[in-house]
């Protein structure tokens, strides 16, 4: 092959680490040429972020919490997509080859999210009570012996080191798998799948540990007295759930725009739907496991966290979470026909993305407003802004390469896949 | 007798043999297109797309599963409430005699158990199992269905069934060998 894969440089690298290879894509896998696909979400995103800027000027503390919620929602999708790619490689999955490129393109959002974490770092003083110097000072009237006991872990320098480490590890895993997959499009080197599996085996271990600790750091430590060892699994469940939804949504969107015709079929949507349904139950299982053990243990330092979410109006949010994150999706996605129906699947996919944001909102926002339930416009602005930019960059990246790993040895089996 | 049995005659149906899974699949499509509904295919392994070709709808086992699951859920709730709050209330570290929180695992497990049992029972009932005997076993050739042969059986109680026309249809669909199968009601009789 004359066309070797070429690396890009900063700042293009943030968007896509390799040069566009769309001209080498075979006809059915050619990306959408319509630029509106990414210009529209970009415009919406910038408008949302501009509004978020107004929110920052008006109430910085509210802005930081709203931003954190939106940022962790996008992070969750990316983490979930990365787990998706790792698991498909490790299990030599055949069914998913036609949708794997969508997930691979999603994972290269890590560098962008690293840049977008700057407001979180700037807002640390507002977001994380443990960053305050007075709570760590025994001579001060605000001294908090519990936080002092956690100081070895919860301190600003170590937090920043961990944050950098997470993004370096995540971006490395993403880079190795994304680049090798694009390289395979140009050059069907038979050693690539085995290498991808090897990277995935080690990558899964790192992803599991970093995802758990990242969730402790960015979300759980907003309420630093509280702790839950299952919190990392909860975050994983939410992220994996949303990632499947977004993969299905993007595939349906591309097909609506005359891409991937007869490539992704209702058999693939059926399987994505099964995963969405399955992880609806898994998320509930984990969320309830956390709740039930804390209910049973009945220890004040643990129950307080739930108490905040069950009074002053937050109980409405908790009930909405139970009904809209579990009960309704469960019954809608239960029938076989629903999972094979593109209209229902795209509706549920949007639902999942919004509910995941609502879940993150439920996790973080009661810390800021323990005495009254809140759904601030800044939260909506931040979510629309960040998610718009996130999707715009992702869709732009997706348009630079073949829409499926066109030389994957299992592609033919994926194309003819039936459940 | 069998679920495809017929009252007025002991003719059980026509058994046609096809060369490969593809031919069987197309024959199933053809038989379904001709209006037949009471027919079945037999092959040594599952053939992808066969349920579509035969025009089979969604399996009804799911309904049994759902019914079992809901029964288990209700039963789990009742079990927890009756044993905890009615029959033998105990004060355990001041917790309520009955609460939904610790009952959910019991309700969940019984939901799973009963939906699994419902699925198995439903599968047996819909398949007409257990049935240790089937008139198709009178056919000498039919034993090869578990080895290397592909069969399509049209039941004689299908409303389109006609001894001659059905055989002609199967022959036109590429059947290699066709035989009439009779249900003598005795397992030891020669075919």
| DSSP state string for A4-30 | ---B--TTHHHH-SB---GGGS-GGGP
* A418/B101 CB distance under 8 A: no
CATH topology of domain B11-56+136-182: Alpha-Beta Plaits (3.30.70)
Position A272 scores a pLDDT of 95
Q: What is the pLDDT of residues B98-126, one digit of tens each?
A: 999 999 999 999 999 999 999 999 999 98
Q: What is the pLDDT of residues A383-415, one digit of tens each?
A: 999 999 999 999 999 999 999 998 888 888 888
Q: Please compute the mean of the pLDDT values over residues A55-67 and round it to a whole number.
A: 93
**pLDDT of B20 over the 80 cut:** yes
* B104/A296 CB distance under 8 A: no
Neighbours of B102 (CB within 10 A): 16
Buried (b) or exposed (e) across A77-96, using 16+ Cβ within 10 A?
bbbbbbbbbbebbbeebbbb
Q: Residue B16 in contact with residue B168, Cβ under 8 Å?
A: no
> Poorest-confidence range of A13-17, A244-248, A381-385, B11-15?
B11-15
Q: What is the pLDDT of residues A273-299, one digit of tens each?
A: 999 999 999 999 999 999 999 999 888
Q: Which residues of B touch A336 (CB under 8 A)?
A: 58, 62
Which of A265, A278, A292, A338 should be substituted to probe chain B, the one whose Cβ sees the most B Cβ atoms within 10 Å? A292
Give the residue among A303, A305, A291, A287 at the shortest CA–CA distance from A356. Answer: A287
How many angstroms separate the CA of residue B138 from the nearest CA in chain A?
A: 34
**pLDDT of B63 over the 80 cut:** yes
Q: Enumerate chain A positions whose Cβ falls within 8 A of a Cβ in B.
A: 288, 291-292, 295-296, 298, 335-337, 418
Q: What is the pLDDT of residues A102-140, one digit of tens each?
A: 999 999 999 999 999 999 999 999 999 999 888 888 888
Hey, is the C-beta of B104 within 8 angstroms of any chain A C-beta? yes
Residue A169, in any domain of the structure? yes
Among the partner residues B49, B93, B104, nearest to A292 by beta-carbon distance: B104
**pTM here?**
0.87
In chain A, % of residues over pLDDT 70: 99
How many angstroms separate the CA of residue A296 from the nearest CA in chain B?
A: 8
Q: Which residues of B touch A292 (CB under 8 A)?
A: 101-102, 104-105
Position B25 scores a pLDDT of 87
* A337/B105 CB distance under 8 A: no
Indicate the pLDDT class of residue B186, thresholds 50, 70 and 90: low
Residue in B with minimal Cα distance to A331: B66
Q: Residue A399 in contact with residue A83, Cβ under 8 Å?
A: no
Angstrom distance (rounded) from CA A77 to CA A398 = 16
How many angstroms separate the CA of residue B45 from the nearest CA in chain A?
A: 15
**pLDDT of B189 over the 60 cut:** no
Among the partner residues A295, A298, A336, nearest to B58 by beta-carbon distance: A336
Residue A105, in any domain of the structure? yes
Indicate the pLDDT class of residue B3, thresholds 50, 70 and 90: low
Residue A416, in any domain of the structure? no
Write out the E strands in B113-176: 150-155
Indicate the pLDDT class of residue A157, thresholds 50, 70 and 90: very high
Q: Higher pLDDT residue, A187 or A362?
A: A362
Residue in A with minimal Cα distance to B92: A296
Indicate the pLDDT class of residue A232, thresholds 50, 70 and 90: very high
Q: Please compute the mean of the pLDDT values over residues B52-71 and round it to a whole number.
A: 89
Q: Which residues of A touch B48 (CB under 8 A)?
A: 418
In chain B, % of residues over pLDDT 70: 92
How many angstroms separate the CA of residue B101 from the nearest CA in chain A?
A: 6
Q: Which residues of B touch A335 (CB under 8 A)?
A: 62
Residue A3, in any domain of the structure? no
Hey, is the C-beta of B89 within 8 angstroms of any chain A C-beta? no
How many angstroms separate the CA of residue B150 from the nearest CA in chain A?
A: 21
Q: Please compute the mean of the pLDDT values over residues A70-80 and round it to a whole number.
A: 96
Q: What is the pLDDT of residues B151-182, one digit of tens each?
A: 888 888 878 888 788 878 887 888 888 888 88
**pLDDT of B1 over the 50 cut:** no
Angstrom distance (rounded) from CA A397 to CA A390 = 11
* B102/A295 CB distance under 8 A: yes
Position A252 scores a pLDDT of 95
Hey, is the C-beta of B62 within 8 angstroms of any chain A C-beta? yes
Sign of the CA dihedral with A214 first, then A218, A222, and A224 last: positive
The number of angstroms, rounded, from the C-alpha of B93 to the middle of its chain's C-alpha atoms is 51
Among the partner residues B49, B95, B104, nearest to A418 by beta-carbon distance: B49
Position A419 scores a pLDDT of 64
Domain count, chain A: 1
Q: Which residues of A touch B62 (CB under 8 A)?
A: 335-336
Q: Which residues of A touch B61 (CB under 8 A)?
A: none
For A416-419, the CB contacts below 8 A with 24+ separation are A417/A94, A417/A95, A417/A265, A417/A267, A417/A268, A418/A267, A418/B48, A418/B49, A419/A95, A419/A267, A419/A270, A419/A271
Residue in A with minimal Cα distance to B96: A296
Neighbours of A205 (CB within 10 A): 11
Write out the E strands in A123-263: none
Residue A201, in any domain of the structure? yes
Q: What is the pLDDT of residues B50-61, one digit of tens each?
A: 888 888 888 889
Among the partner residues A296, A335, A418, nearest to B102 by beta-carbon distance: A296
End-to-end CA distance of chain B: 16
What ranges do the domains of chain B cover?
Answer: 11-56+136-182, 61-127
Q: Which residues of A touch B96 (CB under 8 A)?
A: none
Angstrom distance (rounded) from CA A207 to CA A26 = 33
Domain that holds residue A302: 13-411
Instruction: Provide the token pair at A222.
Output: 């907003």
Hey, is the C-beta of B49 within 8 angstroms of any chain A C-beta? yes
Position A1 scores a pLDDT of 43
Position A163 scores a pLDDT of 96
> Poorest-confidence range of A96-110, A162-176, A210-224, A398-412?
A398-412
How many angstroms separate the CA of residue A292 from the nearest CA in chain B?
A: 6
Q: Which residues of A touch B104 (CB under 8 A)?
A: 288, 292
* A337/B62 CB distance under 8 A: no
Q: What is the pLDDT of residues A91-103, one digit of tens each?
A: 999 999 999 999 9
Helix (H) or strand (E) holding B101: helix B100-127
**pLDDT of B9 over the 80 cut:** no
What 3-state DSSP class applies to B14?
strand
Q: What is the pLDDT of residues A234-268, one digit of tens each?
A: 999 999 999 999 999 999 999 998 888 888 988 99
Position A387 scores a pLDDT of 96
Q: Please compute the mean of the pLDDT values over residues A349-355 and round it to a whole number.
A: 96
Position B4 scores a pLDDT of 60
Position A213 scores a pLDDT of 96
Give the residue among A158, A154, A270 at the shortest CA–CA distance from A216. Answer: A154
Give me the helix-helix angle, A377-398 and A97-107, nearest 10°.
Answer: 120
Position B191 scores a pLDDT of 41
Q: What is the ipTM of this complex?
A: 0.75
> Poorest-confidence range of A16-20, A220-224, A284-288, A354-358?
A16-20
């Amino acid at each position: 092959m004359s066309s070797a894969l070429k690396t890009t440089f900063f700042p293009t690298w943030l968007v896509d680490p390799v040069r566009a290879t769309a001209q080498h894509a075979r006809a059915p896998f050619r990306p959408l040429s319509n630029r509106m696909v990414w210009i529209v979400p970009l415009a919406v995103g910038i408008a949302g972020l501009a509004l978020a800027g107004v929110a920052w000027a008006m109430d910085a503390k509210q802005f930081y919490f709203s931003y954190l919620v939106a940022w962790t929602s996008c992070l969750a999708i990316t983490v979930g997509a990365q787990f998706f790619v790792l698991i498909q490689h490790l299990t030599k999955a055949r069914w998913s080859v036609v949708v794997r490129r969508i997930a691979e393109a999603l994972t290269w959002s890590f560098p962008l999210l690293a840049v977008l974490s700057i407001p979180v770092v700037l807002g640390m003083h507002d977001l994380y009570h443990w960053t305050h110097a007075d709570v760590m000072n025994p001579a001060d009237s605000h001294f908090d012996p519990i936080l002092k006991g956690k100081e070895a872990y919860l301190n600003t320098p170590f937090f920043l080191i961990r944050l950098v480490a997470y993004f370096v590890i995540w971006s490395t895993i993403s880079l190795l798998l994304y680049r090798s997959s694009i390289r395979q499009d140009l050059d069907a080197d038979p050693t690539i799948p085995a290498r991808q599996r090897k990277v995935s085996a080690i990558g899964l271990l790192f992803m599991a540990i970093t995802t758990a600790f990242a969730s402790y750091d960015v979300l759980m430590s907003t309420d630093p007295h509280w702790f839950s060892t299952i919190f990392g699994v909860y975050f994983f469940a939410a992220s994996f759930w949303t990632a499947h939804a977004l993969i299905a949504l993007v595939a349906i969107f591309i097909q609506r725009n005359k891409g991937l015709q007869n490539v992704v079929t209702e058999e693939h949507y059926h399987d994505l739907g099964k995963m969405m349904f399955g992880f609806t139950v898994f998320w509930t299982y984990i969320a309830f496991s956390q709740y039930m053990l804390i209910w049973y243990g009945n220890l004040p330092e643990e129950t307080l966290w739930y108490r905040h979410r069950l009074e002053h109006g937050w109980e409405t949010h908790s009930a909405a979470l139970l009904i809209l994150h579990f009960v309704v999706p469960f019954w809608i996605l239960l029938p076989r026909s629903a999972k094979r129906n593109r209209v229902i699947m795209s509706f549920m996919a949007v639902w999942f993305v919004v509910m995941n944001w609502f879940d993150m909102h439920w996790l973080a926002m009661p810390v800021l407003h323990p005495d009254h339930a809140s759904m601030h416009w800044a939260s909506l602005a931040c979510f629309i802004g960040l998610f718009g930019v996130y999707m715009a960059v992702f869709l732009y990246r997706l348009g630079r390469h073949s829409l499926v790993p066109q030389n994957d040895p299992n592609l033919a089996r994926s194309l003819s896949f039936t459940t | 007798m069998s679920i495809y049995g017929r009252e007025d005659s002991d003719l059980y149906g026509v058994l046609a043999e096809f060369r490969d899974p593809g031919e069987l699949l197309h024959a199933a499509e053809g038989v379904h297109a001709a209006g037949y509904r009471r027919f079945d295919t037999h092959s040594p392994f599952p053939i992808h797309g066969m349920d579509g070709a035969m025009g089979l709808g969604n399996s009804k086992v799911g309904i049994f599963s759902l019914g079992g699951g809901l029964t288990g859920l209700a039963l789990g709730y009742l079990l927890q409430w009756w044993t905890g709050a009615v029959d033998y209330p105990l004060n355990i570290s001041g917790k309520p005699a009955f609460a939904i929180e610790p009952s959910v695992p019991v309700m969940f497990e019984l939901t799973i158990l009963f939906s699994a049992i419902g699925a198995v029972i439903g599968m047996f009932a819909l398949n007409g199992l257990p049935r240790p005997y089937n008139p198709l076993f009178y056919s000498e050739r039919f034993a090869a269905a578990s080895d290397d042969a592909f069969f399509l059986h049209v039941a004689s109680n299908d409303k389109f069934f006609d001894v001659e026309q059905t055989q002609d249809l199967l022959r036109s669909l590429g059947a290699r060998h066709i035989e009439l199968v009779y249900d003598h009601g005795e397992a030891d009789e020669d075919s």
